[in-house]
A and B are shown apart, each in its own frame.
Chain A
Amino acid sequence: MIRAIRACKTAAEERAVVRKECAAIRAAINENDTDYRHRNLAKLMFIHMLGYPTHFGQMECLKLIASPGFPEKRIGYLGLMLLLDERQEVLMLVTNSLKQYPVYIVGLALCALGNICSAEMARDLAPEVERLLQFRDPNIRKKAALCSIRILKKVPDLAENFINPATALLREKHHGVLITGVQLCTDLCKISTEALENIRKKCTDGLVRTLKDLANSPYSPEYDIAGITDPFLHIRLLKLLRVLGEGDADASDSMNDILAQVATKTESNKVAGNAILYECVQTIMSIEDNGGLRVLAINILGRFLSNRDNNIRYVALNMLMKAVTADGQAVQRHRATILECVKDSDASIRKRALELVYVLVNDTNVKPLAKELIDYLEVSDQDFRADLTAKICSIVAKFSPEKIWYIDQMLKVLSEAGNFVKDEVWYALIVVITNASELHGYTVRALYRAFQTSAEQETLVRVTVWCIGEYGDMLVHNVGMLDIEDPITVTESDAVDIVEIAINRHASDLTTKAMALVALLKLSSRFPSCSERIREIIVQFKGSFVLELQQRAIEFNAIIAKHQNIRSTLVERMPVLDEAAFIGRRAGSLPGAASTTTVPSVSLPNGVAKPVAPLVDLLDLSSDDAPAPSSSGGDFLQDLLGVDLAPASQQSGAGQASKSGNDVLLDLLSIGSASAPTSSSTVDILSSDSSNKAPVLPLDDLSSVSLSSKASSNAAPMMDLLDGFAPSPPTENNGPVYPSITAFESNSLRLTFNFSKQPGNPQTTVIQATFTNLTSNTYTDFVFQAAVPKFLQLHLDPASSSTLPAAGNGSITQNLKITNSQHGKTIFGVGHSTLSEIGHNDLDSSIPSFSLFVLCEYDYGVHLLILFPKTFMWFMYISTKIFVYECQSQILPLKASFRCRSIEEIVCSKLYATLNMQNYVVQRKFIRVKVCDVWPQY
């Protein structure tokens, strides 16, 4: 049959032959053919080896085992071991043989037991095997010893039964039995400390003597291998001694001499000798300290390391790895050789050596080592580069003495093997870059140069694009020139060229292209002369098939075309990233960072939410990019608001509502005070028009501000104040519960608010506004106007007077009654050209409260801002149809999608999602607000 199978030329032929054979064997089984049973089983085994199913033959094994003749039994057991394994229950049937007399059969059974015994069998047969350990035939004893190992592995609690018979085996003379005995003892020691103590006490000396006899034994042809008597026994003995010596000074002491002898006398020109030396070194390193022996051991390893044979070098590297902890200094001496091994052509050696170098690096040698490794990176082969770059990056990050060196080394790595650099690594690089403010110019120029030569390295491209976007102006104007640099001249359009190359490059993936778009937007503001060209590049992507790119292109195009006024603020430099927070967060411990996200996410048509992996990276990046200190957040916000305000008030006539609300934000950010600063120009307007009002409507759990005033004014409800609201009797003057606030104060007008609530009607707040004229002129026709978001109802009582006497000689009071239709809920208001603020959430103390603001509504969408304490981020939306969904995350798989009819719904969804998240950092990552199927027509 074998011949027939071998004759087959194709796999199909082979299958046909096998099928025929199997059919024949099945037929034979059915007929219960005893004569050819063992031949059939042998065939089956061969078929099995070829990888065909042979389950039908399993019972045949058992029948053969049950048959009386030795050859049949032998084949039966062989089949048993090959065709079955410990998981099959039939095995229980085969265990009787152990009790049978004929030695050979017991041997067979032990053999089978040793190879495929299951836990159940182990339990049942342990006493039997134990008995056989003292059997007179050495063949049986050694088999029984190995069977015991298997039994102990399956059922460790049987260990104590075996201690005595096992130690008896150590006194054997027969090598086969001795070696198995030693092996059994080693395993016993690993399993049970009792056995370890026992054997250590009773047998250490005996073992040392055995090893000594063995080492000094004259030539014996039977066990000789390369001039050494039974190296395997040597090794096993050394191994057991290692186990015994570990953590025990006495035992270690008693084996010192013999170890020294083995270490010095063993010949090291053959594999066998080296194997013994290697084992011996391992033992020396593991047992209790003995300086002299260790020196000897390290010297042996040094010799190994310079050996021509790769195998020996491999084990030396392996061993040095362990020796580093014991004696780092001695290993450092071999650094040069080890470094050579990193460059070996054999992957196994390279890998070991690299790991060793990695542990050898310290503050003092990092520079030369990193240089060597990076130099080697240039010539290393592809498979190895990933490992090598990862290690270099880690070394450089861990030990870098200064930032400029770190940046230099990283740039080298990026330009050599940027495609292998992991995302975290270049995120970290960007964090470092932003923190090294004096190196911004240097870095961006270095990147610019690197890009010219290595534009094919993805991560280099990304970092370059990011830095050019951020620091493009420094590139062009040679800001922050260091002495060591060669001056270069880069024009604005050169810088744009780079980004354009990056975005048009075929190999660029989504993340890179998206980053390039952001960079372009930033450059458009930084280089006004290239703005038009940049817009053209961006416009090309309006037709991109990739939704992410298309969306960005449309948004950015709109920003460039229609929103010049906010653009410069939008594309401000990223705030310096907090290194500590970044590191902390990388360690997964701190929810420390916040985010400025200029990027809403991808959505697919029809609202099918599908997580896009690169996008996660992208968001990740942008969140990494922007842990903003609260102050800059506030400033930014204020700027943003300021910018918004200007056009609105220009367009609208007198009396039209314009927006404000900075103070709410400022308060949240813990900067600014309750009374908001106003610019002097505002004050001028105020005084000349004498029609300026600033109502503030603090409400329970939320605050909402709107101003009806030609000029902007400020309001200052404070969140903590709001929490304190409770029903109280109405009072004409200041309610005892609510402190009054100065809502607005300038050198011309002061406005204070007193609050009160009617009992049993918590929705309604009565605000008494008091106006005081601080100028020397009398205001006539004084009118106070207020506007509120839709969910609030405002009732303005008539003012006490329309004339406001000068110099604080009198005041006007006016009552405002505000009813919050959404009291107790999370509310949110949007009105055209209205700046509103939406409630925060403190339902769960583990979730930081946050506030969500709609900054303004454009014709194409809504501008949202979400505030977290001390942190912030913002989203920009296009289109009026928006839905929210959580992306599938690795940490918190939350799959849900919401379609919002209105923006209010988003907020509810957001809150819902927040509650399901553990902290807002996670939440920030996974919540996406998306633009849905309707695209704005431009």
Chain B
Amino acid sequence: MIRFILLQNRQGKTRLAKYYVPLEDSEKHKVEYEVHRLVVNRDPKYTNFVEFRTHKIIYRRYAGLFFSLCVDITDNELAYLECIHLFVEILDHFFSNVCELDLVFNFHKVYLILDEFILAGELQETSKKAIIERMGELEKLE
């Protein structure tokens, strides 16, 4: 199960933080800081997995943005790696050529997309098309 999802830029500014386990605010900030420290200095040749406390972080870097998932130690790392990529493709598709600024100014949209993609720490939908269509429908309602 996914414990939390973080989107951070290279400076450690959090662009999106979604927790599927309850944490205190102070604890959240600590986690964000630690995760950033952990992933930011790793060589691109290294694995995309780092152990973090009793869980592990699966991260992937896209330009200046780090997408980090914290998952159980027994979970399939490769699958989550692929899952990050799928999420990025969805974002890319939705914002047509996504960049960090899109995520900053439309942060609420990013959350909504994420809610269609992952729920309760589990994958909800694996089709890019389905999610984009769903978002389109919901947008129309606004």
Q: Which residues of A line the B interface, CB within 8 A?
A: 2, 6, 42, 45-46, 49-51, 53, 70-71, 74-75, 78, 81-82, 85-87, 104, 111, 114-116, 139, 142-143, 146-147, 149-150, 175-176, 179-180, 183, 221-223, 225, 230-233, 235-236, 239, 271-272, 274-275, 278-279, 282, 310-315, 318, 345-349, 351
Q: How far is the CA of A150 from the CA of B121 in the complex (A)?
A: 9
| Alpha-carbon distance between A75 and B119 when the two chains are bound, in angstroms | 17
Q: Using Cβ atoms and an 8 Å threshold, which residues of chain B touch A115?
A: 18, 20, 115, 119-120
- Measured CB to CB, the closest approach of chain B to A933, in angstroms, equals 46
Interface majority SS (helix, strand, loop, mixed), chain B: mixed
Contact: B124 with A176, CB < 8 Å? yes
Q: Which residues of B contact A221 (CB under 8 A)?
A: 129
Contact status B108-A51, CB under 8 Å? no
User: What are 25 A-B contacts defined by CB distance under 8 Å?
Assistant: A45-B107, A45-B108, A53-B25, A75-B108, A86-B22, A116-B22, A146-B119, A149-B120, A150-B121, A176-B125, A176-B130, A179-B123, A183-B123, A222-B130, A223-B126, A231-B79, A271-B85, A272-B78, A275-B79, A278-B76, A278-B78, A315-B77, A345-B43, A347-B50, A351-B51
Chain B residues in 8 Å Cβ range of A81? 111, 115
- Name the B residues within 8 Å of A142 (CB-CB): 124-125
Residue B53, interface by CB 8 Å: no
A115 vs B112: C-alpha distance in the bound complex, in angstroms? 13
Are the CB atoms of A311 and B48 closer together than 8 Å?
A: yes
Q: A87 vs B83: C-alpha distance in the bound complex, in angstroms?
A: 29
Task: Tell me whether A272 and B50 are in contact (CB under 8 A).
Answer: no
Cross-chain contact A314 with B49 (CB below 8 angstroms): yes
Query: Smallest distance from the beta carbon of A47 to chain B beta carbons, Å?
Result: 11
Residues B79 and A279 in contact, CB atoms below 8 Å apart: yes
Q: Is B141 a contact partner of A71 (Cβ separation < 8 A)?
A: yes
Q: Is the CB of A147 within 8 A of B119?
A: yes
Interface residues of B, Cβ cutoff 8 Å to A = 14-20, 22-23, 25, 29, 42-43, 45-51, 76-79, 81-83, 85-86, 104-105, 107-108, 111-112, 115, 119-130, 134, 137-138, 141-142
Contact flag A70-B49 (CB < 8 Å), given A142-B125, A232-B126:
no
Do B122 and A346 touch (CB < 8 A)? no
Contacts of B138 in A (CB 8 A): 74, 104
Could you tell me if B124 and A180 are in contact, using CB atoms closer than 8 angstroms?
Answer: yes
| B127 neighbours in A (Cβ, 8 Å) | 175-176, 222-223, 230
Residue numbers in B under 8 Å from A345 (CB-CB): 43, 45-46
Instruction: State A183–B51 Cα separation when bound (angstroms).
Output: 24
Pick from A70, A223, A271, A351: contact of B142, CB below 8 A. Answer: A70
For the complex of A and B, the 4 pairs showing the least CB-CB separation, nearest first, are: A275-B78, A114-B120, A346-B46, A71-B142
Q: Are A311 and B79 in contact (CB under 8 A)?
A: no
Whether A348 pairs with B22 at a CB distance below 8 angstroms is no
Q: Given the complex, which residues of A lie within 8 Å of B105, measured CB to CB?
A: 2
**Complex formed: what's the CA distance from A691 to B4 in Å?**
92
Cα distance A82–B25 in the bound complex, in angstroms: 11
- Please measure, in the bound complex, the distance between the C-alpha atom of A731 and the C-alpha atom of B15, giving whole angstroms: 99
Q: How far is the CA of A114 from the CA of B20 in the complex (A)?
A: 9
Contact indicator A232/B123 (Cβ below 8 Å)? yes
Instruction: Flag if A78 contacts B112 (CB, 8 Å).
Output: yes
What residues of chain A lie closer than 8 Å to B42, measured between beta carbons? 346
Please, which residues of chain B bring their CB within 8 A of the CB of A87? 22
Residues in A with CB closer than 8 Å to B76 are: 235, 239, 275, 278-279, 282
Q: In whole Å, how far is A128's beta carbon from the nearest beta carbon of chain B?
A: 16
Does A235 contact B79, Cβ atoms closer than 8 Å?
A: yes
Q: Are B78 and A311 in contact (CB under 8 A)?
A: yes
**Who on chain B is nearest to A73 by CB?**
B141
| Nearest chain B CB to A191 CB, angstrom units | 13
Apart from A180-B122, A222-B127, A222-B128, what are 7 other A-B pairs with CB-CB below 8 Å? A78-B115, A82-B111, A150-B121, A176-B125, A183-B122, A223-B127, A348-B51
| Bound Cα distance A102, B135 (Å) | 16
Q: How far is the CA of A221 from the CA of B29 in the complex (A)?
A: 40
Kindly provide the distance from the CB of A337 to the nearest chain B CB, expressed in whole angstroms. 16
Task: Judge whether B123 and A49 touch: CB under 8 Å.
Answer: no
Asked if A232 meets B83 with Cβ closer than 8 Å, knowing A146-B124, A315-B77, A348-B47, the reply is yes
Q: List chain A residues, Cβ under 8 A from B112.
A: 74, 78
Inter-subunit contact A311/B81 (CB<8 Å): yes
**Which chain A residues lie closer than 8 Å to B137 at the CB level?**
104
In the complex, what residues of B have CB within 8 A of residue A272's CB? 78, 82
Alpha-carbon separation in the docked complex, A45 to B18 (Å): 12
Q: How far is the CA of A176 from the CA of B86 in the complex (A)?
A: 14
Q: Which residues of B contact A279 (CB under 8 A)?
A: 76, 79
Chain A residues near B22 (CB-CB < 8 A)? 85-87, 116
Q: Which residues from chain B contact A347 at a C-beta distance below 8 Å? A: 46, 50
Give, as a whole number of angstroms, the nearest-CB distance from A508 to chain B: 33
In whole angstroms, what is the CA distance A772 to B17 when docked? 98
Contacts of B115 in A (CB 8 A): 78, 81, 111, 115
With contact pairs A51-B29, A70-B142, A111-B115 given, residues A346 and B45 touching in the complex (Cβ less than 8 Å)? yes
